[in-house]
Structure 1
């Protein structure tokens, strides 16, 4: 089996329903992953939702700084995509409703390349008025 494409898997997990993911189960067994939802006008709440899910599901070790740091940078990179380069929501009078996935794996054949972490967001962003949002997607990948 080819090395896992952790970014691609993160996007699939964030965008697909469980039954749609069934086809990808063999690939998913080669990585650690979790998924969740976050909706807010507060960016810190979105970041905290992802961090909490990753820690509770054992994707990162809570007391290992480099793992938390790697996750944080992957989250920020993914949020760049969601917010079109301006990492702000409430301050700009917009809100998000997102599903997210965190995937940890070894995307390179050489063992020395180590583990990497990917974060994908999929959902909506827009004015805080129901029906005025549009789809959005973001992906961030960082080495651990």
Structure 2
């Protein structure tokens, strides 16, 4: 079991958000035969962030609707990424915080052996802070889970 340096799924998910040349990163993902999508979400409710990412993943056919293990893997990757964004406390509105995030979802096989199967990565980048303009700071999160 060896993680292939050319197929670091988390790195590619973060690059989809941060790279100034997103088309180059998208080409790499497509050359690998992987699937990806990006989007934006802003909310004071973590459930709305989760829903927006899950909806994008299903609409872009990154996960199959009705296949439990795929939705379950996506959910855990989202929650792990949210832990990074919220510094371990997945709370927003209840503690008077709001987020404005861009997200990327990447699905592929990051290991040399195909027996290791597919994995999914969710990256989040944006701002978090009090629900008033100018009272926020940058934040980032990454979640990776096997399907």
Structure 2: give runs of 5+ residues left out of the alignment: none
Provide the rounded CA distance (Å) in 2 between the counterparts of 1:48 and 1:22: 26
Provide the rounded CA distance (Å) in 2 between the counterparts of 1:106 and 1:123: 27
* TM value normalised by structure 2: 0.92
Asked whether the equivalents of residues 15 and 99 of structure 1 are also in contact (C-alpha less than 8 Å), the reply is no
Runs of 4+ aligned residues of structure 1 deviating over 6 Å after TM superposition are none
State the partner residue of 1:22.
Answer: 23
Structure 1: give runs of 5+ residues left out of the alignment: none
Count of aligned residue pairs for this structure pair: 142
Provide the rounded CA distance (Å) in 2 between the counterparts of 1:25 and 1:33: 8
Secondary structure at 2:122 match in 1: strand
Per-residue CA shift, 1:87-130, capped at 9, x if unaligned? Answer: 00001100000000000000001111000000000000000010
Per-residue CA shift, 1:53-89, capped at 9, x if unaligned? Answer: 0000000001100000000000000000000000000
Asked whether the equivalents of residues 81 and 137 of structure 1 are also in contact (C-alpha less than 8 Å), the reply is yes
Per-residue CA shift, 1:4-58, capped at 9, x if unaligned? Answer: 21101110112245xx123334412122000100100011000000000000000
**Do residues 121 (structure 1) and 124 (structure 2) align?**
yes
**Do residues 91 (structure 1) and 66 (structure 2) align?**
no
Provide the rounded CA distance (Å) in 1 between the counterparts of 2:142 and 2:25: 19
Provide the rounded CA distance (Å) in 1 between the counterparts of 2:138 and 2:69: 32
Compared CA separation, residues 32 and 135, structure 1 to 2 (3 A): same
